[in-house]
Amino acid sequence: DQQVKQNSPSLSVQEGRISILNCDYTNSMFDYFLWYKKYPAEGPTFLISISSIKDKNEDGRFTVFLNKSAKHLSLHIVPSQPGDSAVYFCAASRVTSGTYKYIFGTGTRLKVLA
Amino acid sequence: SQTIHQWPATLVQPVGSPLSLECTVEGTSNPNLYWYRQAAGRGLQLLFYSVGIGQISSEVPQNLSASRPQDRQFILSSKKLLLSDSGFYLCATTGGRHYGYTFGSGTRLTVV
């Protein structure tokens, strides 16, 4: 059972436009969500997080939106840059459990076209 | 700040051979430690996690095992590798400015 889903395996966007990456989850107990960026042959790097008590978190060009009723989160990148081309993973956890076990989606490969 | 060291970066092993991947953490004490695997075309799958020395929890039944002989050392092992063990293995720890992970640079394992 895939508790965290990224239904779009790939996305292409023109440089300067908005990139929107989506993520759905099934477990209503998840209370913390993350987005990671991954280049080939490297470990993922943290991008942005959001707690379930919020519906939006912004950090520079990156904004994450959380819709708890729909069990959906999205990552907006504005404006998109060629260096943003990478695989993006969303992840969810119930951090109140103390074990910080994150369930990851299958990733979306973003390609920003110059 | 925390740093995770993983080695080797790349490994090619024959089917049936043993495996030992090591991960060490600096800049923190008593960390939670995790092993993840990214198989071709798939997401990141949690394999094992540890909340302390000698404490290992397995998430997925498989051909692998993990050990934590020291506070900041986490080892992934196999007695006999299978072709299906090929993948990109990542060690991670919690902490930092968010509740998420800091990942190591990963090991690309190819079983031939």
Contact A21, A74 (CB under 8 A): yes
Partner residue facing B100 (CB), from A34, A43, A107: A34
> What's A9's DSSP letter?
S
Q: Which residue range is the domain that position A39 belongs to?
A: 4-113
pLDDT of residue A1: 66
Give the confidence band of A97 by pLDDT, cuts at 50, 70, 90. Answer: confident
| Residue A34 contacts B where some CB pair is shorter than 8 Å | yes
Give, for B41, the enclosing helix (H) or strand (E). none
> What's A102's DSSP letter?
P
Q: Does B65 have pLDDT greater than 90?
A: yes
Q: Does A59 have pLDDT greater than 80?
A: yes
Residue ranges and CATH numbers for the domains of chain B are: 13-111 (2.60.40.10)
| Residue A107 contacts B where some CB pair is shorter than 8 Å | yes
Q: How many domains does chain A have?
A: 1
Q: Which of A8, A30, A31 is nearest to A20 (CA)?
A: A8
Give the confidence band of B1 by pLDDT, cuts at 50, 70, 90. Answer: confident
Looking up residue A31, the CATH number of its domain turns out to be 2.60.40.10
CA A59 to chain centre: 13
Q: Does B98 have pLDDT greater than 80?
A: no
Pick the range with the lowest mean pLDDT from A10-19, A97-106, B48-57, B84-93: A97-106
pLDDT digits (tens, 9 = 90+) for B7-45: 999 999 999 999 999 999 998 888 999 999 998 777 899
Question: How many Cα neighbours within 13 Å face the side chain of A80?
Answer: 21
Q: What is the mean pLDDT of residues A5-25?
A: 96
Q: Which residue has the tokens 């477990």?
A: A27
Which of A37, A100, A103, A109 to mutate to test binding with chain B, by most B CBs within 10 Å of its CB?
A100
**Does B99 sit within 8 Å of A32, measured CB to CB?**
yes
Q: What is the mean pLDDT of residues B47-68?
A: 90
* Strand runs labelled E in B1-112: 3-7, 10-13, 19-26, 33-38, 44-52, 55-58, 65-70, 73-78, 87-94, 101-103, 107-111
pLDDT digits (tens, 9 = 90+) for B4-16: 999 999 999 999 9
Distance from CA of B90 to the nearest CA of A (A): 7
CA angle B94, A91, A99 (to 5 degrees): 40
Q: Does B61 have pLDDT greater than 70?
A: no
Q: Which of B8, B14, B6 is nearest to B110 (CA)?
A: B14
**Does B99 sit within 8 Å of A93, measured CB to CB?**
yes
